Structure 1
Amino acid sequence: MDQGNIAFVLICAALALIMTPGLAFLYGGVVRAQSAISMMMLSFGAMGLVGVLWILYGYAVVYSGAGSPTYFGIDGVFGIEFAHLGFAGLFGDDPADALKLAEAAFQGMFAIITVALVSGAIADRARFGAWMVFAGVWSTLVYFPVASWIFNMTWGAEGIVDGGWIVYGLQSVVGAGVLDFAGGTAVHINAGAAALALALVLGKRIGFAKGIQKPHSIPFVLLGASLLWFGWFGFNAGSEGAADGFAALAVMNTIVAPAASLLTWLIVETIRGGKATAVGAALGAVSGLVAITPGCAYLTPVWAVVLGLLSGVVCALAVDLKFVLGFDDSLDVVGVHLVGGLIGTLYLGVFALGDGLLYSGRANQLAAQSIAAFAVMIYSFLVTYAIGFVIERTMGFRVRESDDVAGLDAVQHGESALTIEGRRPGGSRLA
């Protein structure tokens, strides 16, 4: 039994779990004080619900295949491996089962944070109960199948011999499968497209305009970004499943790409507004982390720096698209995660070691990256819009306007993020 690799994957799983509370701090710090608890609870709710669904059937959907008599579904598109329901198939006598169980725990963290990311688009206006229903349905119909398209691979002596259609199936069409080491498509493009759809379903906040609100706690924002960056080392390196050279390269690129992106985001801010902000530094780092995720083990550090510089500029400009196009993506999930995920995924078509256009002289890898990116984006947007629309028309997804204006913490959770000398932020005395 390779205890070293098992320990490595387990540590990476713990690091990846830290990312969701980190996201909660980032999101909670950006919104108003009256809605901070509500915002953070959307992430913590996802941790509880999706964590359970992953064990019950999520893993069985993501890692399904035609090689087992208990398999049901369409190979490469959607399936359920009945032997994996409840993780039952991972408790055998084979020593390799221990590593499979560790990797299953690690992949569960991806499912959790992908759902949590979507919540940033609906800050200040979503009912918690409706969000929990959405999280369960969305992870079932969108995240689990999409993750199967990308992460479900069977390796043989000559490379990948079976798997999801985006990785294995595209090889017969364009001569290359998508390169996505740690989830640029399955996590970031997926969540970003879903966020756009959900923002359209719920509509705009009251008084939506540029500068509608100031972050209530910039230290929370910086703490959240720091926890995300720290956890991202496990997120990226752990995707290798072994403590080897690819994992080391992933760690190095997870340092340099967000560092470069942070710098260029601040430069764009300074040119446009005359000041570099702490929130800009946080978002710049996150945009670089998003962009490097699919290619963290496929790029040299120099090309990772170039990617970071590019993502910082493009994402800093993209966050203002919501004001131009009129959709209320409250916490810039579209501008950072959708746009950053697209940049990082398409970038590999040109600069990936050995396979990109620059190295191979062939455009088939760029074709595979493009098909994968836009297929995931379109599927996620359409299915998410349908899920959100049904929830809104049945149980109601958006809170009342009066709750929107007052803030959601007291109404949704009976709690307050801040109390000063026995008073809530609004001035009322605590009971």
Structure 2
Amino acid sequence: MLTRLLFSLLLLCAGAAYAGPFVGQPVPPQYMQTTQDADIWAQVGDQVISVGTIEEGQIIAVSPMAADYYEFRFGFGTGFIDKQHLEPVQGKQRVQDRLGDLNKPLSNQNLLTWQDVTVYNAPDSRSAPFGTLAENLRYPIIGKLKDRLNQTWYEVRIGNRLGYISSLDAQEDNGIPVLTYHHILRDEENTRFRHTSTTTSVRAFNNQMTWLRDRGYATLSMYQLEGYVRNRMNLPARAVVITFDDGLKSVSRYAYPVLKQYGFKATAFIISSRIKGRPQRWDPKSLQFMSVSELRKIADVFDIQSHTHFLHRVDALHHPILLSRSYHNVLFDFERSRRALAQFNPHVLYLSYPFGGYDEKAVKAANDAGFHLAVTTVKGKVKPGDNPFLLKRLYILKTDSLETMAKIITNQPQG
């Protein structure tokens, strides 16, 4: 049964972007009770994984399916439970006593699990456990409350049931790091850009990616980051977004093979007017841009997105020219960039402002041009509910130690 269930879930989720719980579900949820301790699964990121258990005798709301499993609400998506572990509830009062306020909205905050954690039926460790949440999950909370000992508890909802997790067992989510890179060179060939902060050594980049891999980090797409910002998608606790601005040739030469080796994904924000018709002969002493064929070659690792078309320039005072252009000029450029990049990606939905320069006009133009998110160079992590057109990012410099990187990336409040 377990093998059949997992196979069914993989078929359900394979090749399809998740649109939300119970989309197109004609049958209303019904309350059922577990007959034994039951494993539960859900789609987290782009995988269907085990996300915890529900104890015997617990009541949840499920949607009957023509399959070996039932569906139920799990976080921002759908959970799955084997049909053999459930039976109809006897008596409506028992159901109503355990539901709480189903209309109470989420708090725009998540908790993070670093190990399997107990979910209790009440904000008291002496209460009966409802079940567990697995390690490495981000899970939305309804709110926080204090118990008689002034201990903080997170209130969550699973299958329309309220549950409580001690803050001693889980952390509050301080956001997802979006890492920014530009140029990558080997130490021995870097003569011109050695003192440029946006140039990273191949050795440092490889060490940084090894650090992420060894600690089990998932690399998210901008689409998944959008799901996080808009509270639409379940994601792992250990998650990071890797971005490269400009579209330099060194990205395909040095970053691409490292990321591919580790099975990582990244986003390349491309200046569409600088795409070359043919690959240039490698010259580490100049800034070279990728060609059409090079961009197509890296598409299995990199999601191609926009860094504008002609607006990646500065004026005589070294200010981004985007700031001095009219709204219509900026809008035209954004739309032209999307069209130019469509040959590599039919879904150019994300923008990186040139030199991090933006104003109210640029934000409006980004929205009107059809972008879903835009990233800046303002330092910080991305959190649910952030302005989708003013997302923060982080730099890991070539001079930063792995200890410094750990402090930047791990779940610590940003100063």
Shorter chain as normaliser: what TM range? under 0.3
User: Between Structure 1 and Structure 2, which shows a larger proportion of helix residues?
Assistant: 1
TM-score, normalization by structure 1: 0.25
Higher RCO (C-alpha under 8 Å, 6+ residues apart): 1
- Higher Rg: 2
TM-score, normalization by structure 2: 0.26
User: Between Structure 1 and Structure 2, which shows a larger proportion of strand residues?
Assistant: 2
